[in-house]
Amino acid sequence: MRVKVRLFARLRDLVGSAEIDQAVPEGATIATVWDGLVSQHPALADYSRAVSCARNDDFSRMQAPVRDGDEIAFLPPVSGG
């Protein structure tokens, strides 16, 4: 199955793209998607303990399962205000 990955701020800069179409295996979780990204872009590893995630425009958890066509977003630590 495939998911759309969205990246923001420095994560986007490190990967060089705001959106990626990514193939993931059946039974994948958001953590599976993240680990796949890190293997392609090792600089992201620094964020593994600090990243937040969202699934289809709602906050989610790394252990949450993903479905075909999901939009998964990874968020570096925030700095609004």
Contact call for residue 79 and another protein (CB under 8 A): yes
DSSP 30-43: HHHHHHHHHHH-GG
- Measured from the CB atom, the residue of 63 and 79 that comes closer to another protein is 79
Cα(43)–Cα(9) distance, integer angstroms: 14
Contact call for residue 1 and another protein (CB under 8 A): no
- Measured from the CB atom, the residue of 16 and 25 that comes closer to another protein is 16
The residues facing 74 across adjacent strands are: 7, 53
Tokens of 16: 């060089």
Residues that bind another protein in the complex, under the rule CB under 8 A? 6, 8-10, 13, 50-52, 54, 57-59, 73, 75-81
